[in-house]
Amino acid sequence: QSALTQPASVSGSPGQSITISCTGTSSDVGGYNSVSWYQQHPGKAPKLMIYDVSNRPSGVFTRFSGSKSGNTASLTISGLQAEDEADYYCSSSTNSTTPVVFGGGTKLTVL
Amino acid sequence: EVQLVETGGGLIQPGGSLRLSCAASGFTVSSNYMNWVRQAPGKGLEWVSVIYSGGSTYYADSVKGRFTISRDNSKNTLYLQMNSLRAEDTAVYYCARGTSGGYVDYWGQGTLVTVSS
- From the number of C-beta atoms within 10 Å of its C-beta (0-12, 13-18, 19+), residue B109 rates as middle
The residues near B20 (Cβ < 8 Å, ≥ 6 apart) are B6, B7, B8, B9, B36, B79, B80, B82, B93, B95, B111, B113
Q: What is the pLDDT of residues B91-117, one digit of tens each?
A: 999 999 998 888 999 999 999 999 999
Nearest residue on chain B to A29, alpha-carbon basis: B102
Is A105 near chain B, with CB under 8 Å?
yes
- In chain A, residues with a C-beta closer than 8 Å to the C-beta of B99 are 51
Q: Is the pLDDT of residue A97 over 80?
A: no
Q: Provide, rounded to the nearest whole percent, the portion of chain A with pLDDT above 70.
A: 99
Task: Give the integer Cα–Cα distance in Å for A96 and A30.
Answer: 13
Q: What is the pLDDT of residues A58-89, one digit of tens each?
A: 999 999 999 999 999 999 999 999 999 999 99
What is the residue-averaged pLDDT of chain A?
95
Determine if residue A43 is left, alpha or beta; phi over 0 gives left, psi from -120 to 50 gives alpha, anything else beta: left
What distance in Å separates residue A34's CA from the closest CA in chain B? Answer: 6
Question: For chain B, first and last CA: distance in Å?
Answer: 40
